[in-house]
A = this chain, B = another copy of it.
């Protein structure tokens, strides 16, 4: 488990204590809590501040300033159709947040029977979702809000452990869904393998209205030269007779302006018909002018790719710094393991069992704000108290370096405390 030998443990503990005291002395104030883009990333979309300029019409001549257009602007739907692996006529473009769309998909499932459902979820004796862990705290918060039981499933490098998933959904009809971030997963950076996607698409489920909440938040957010692709869930599900299973979500939140982007929902024709009939009661249409701004800024698929390469230039040094410093400070100690994500917004750090809360608390004491330990597990409960999510995007490179150096000290101190306790 650890390379610390009892012999030098006391000495190492003293060193860690001294290092930590010096760290506190520095009076840092650094924040690696949330996956927010840095100002320089937002600058890349600065043209949005004066777009769309003198035009307000879609390619088909529609006046986008007025009411209407429930499906969203065709041009912006076409722009993301390929990246999200959803045919354009099955993809709708909406407001500034895909989290909203996930929330509302749950609301509508609670209050109106889904295609294939026996009843609306609010009339079920119990509803449960599978939650691959570590995962995204805001997904878990939605389950909590709607009284949906969360069943953790371990993540692997290829996505959720499919043996466990298949076993659970085959027999337990309460299980109505699973949360998936299929590419550059939050927080562990996993890329779902083709086999995982195929098994998700084809597995038998006891619930006739089982849905995969496919939060493809990082579809184009590459950190390497390789633009990783995943298998086409929507097509595979249809091939296996489960066309209505996927709910696909995406957004430009980490492409253009985090607070002023465009979100997307894609699914089968039957699901889309169901959803749009409900959405039509809620709104006369999304902000199509903002969608036009996005189409004008990004232009086409190559425009999106070029834009994301510019993001990568800004982000890669920060992710490299995290890995370099953790390697320098902790590699070979056995005190920590961390991911080397090929994309996305996070680095997942596993420390010694029972130490994550202590590490986060020590870091806070040194002015380094980290995502609360446990946040990557349902109900904030990491049963092994091991996982810490590092979000290096918003801080400056110097801040990231300072915070990770401090974090490494906290990891060493928490570990030596554990063994000297």
Contacts and interface: CB of A to CB of B under 8 A. Distances in A.
Closest 10 CB pairs of A and B: A260-B289, A103-B282, A65-B257, A42-B65, A96-B287, A67-B258, A145-B281, A260-B287, A66-B258, A50-B50
Interface stretch (A52-60, A205-213, A317-325): A52-60
How many chain copies does the complex carry?
2
Interface string A95-117: 11101100110010011100000
Interface string A37-56: 10100100100111111111
Contacts of A96: 95, 283, 286-287
A241 interface: no
Nearest to A257: B65
Contacts of A56: 42, 49
A288 B56 CA distance: 20
A119 interface: no
A12 to B, nearest CB: 40
A286 B288 CA distance: 15
A144 B282 CA distance: 12
Contacts of A52: 49
A336 B410 CA distance: 81
A308 interface: no
A141 interface: yes
Contacts of A53: 49-50
Given A110-B111, A111-B146, A63 B48 contact: no
A107 B104 CA distance: 10
Nearest to A146: B111
A138 B49 CA distance: 33
A96 to B, nearest CB: 4
Interface string A159-176: 000000000000000000
A264 to B, nearest CB: 16
Contacts of A286: 96, 259
A64 interface: yes
A68 interface: yes
A278 B127 CA distance: 20
Interface of A: 34, 36-37, 39, 42, 45, 48-56, 63-69, 95-97, 99-100, 103-104, 107, 110-112, 122, 138, 141-142, 144-146, 253, 257-260, 278, 281-290
Contacts of A290: 260, 287, 290
A48 to B, nearest CB: 7
A142 to B, nearest CB: 6
A47 to B, nearest CB: 11
A339 B145 CA distance: 46
In this complex, which of A66, A104, A146, A259 has the most chain B Cβ atoms within 10 angstroms of its Cβ?
A259
Contacts of A289: 48-49, 257, 259-260
Contacts of A287: 95-96, 259-260, 287, 290
Given A99-B282, A107-B107, A259-B286, 9 more contacts: A34-B67, A49-B56, A64-B260, A67-B258, A95-B96, A260-B289, A260-B290, A287-B287, A287-B290
Contact of A259 (B37, B54, B110, B288): B288
B107 A111 contact: yes
Nearest to A145: B281
A145 B34 CA distance: 37
A57 to B, nearest CB: 11
Contacts of A144: 281
A296 to B, nearest CB: 11
Contacts of A284: 97, 99, 258-259
20 contacts: A39-B65, A42-B63, A49-B56, A50-B51, A65-B260, A66-B259, A97-B284, A99-B284, A103-B281, A103-B283, A107-B107, A145-B278, A145-B281, A257-B289, A259-B284, A259-B288, A259-B289, A260-B289, A287-B287, A287-B290
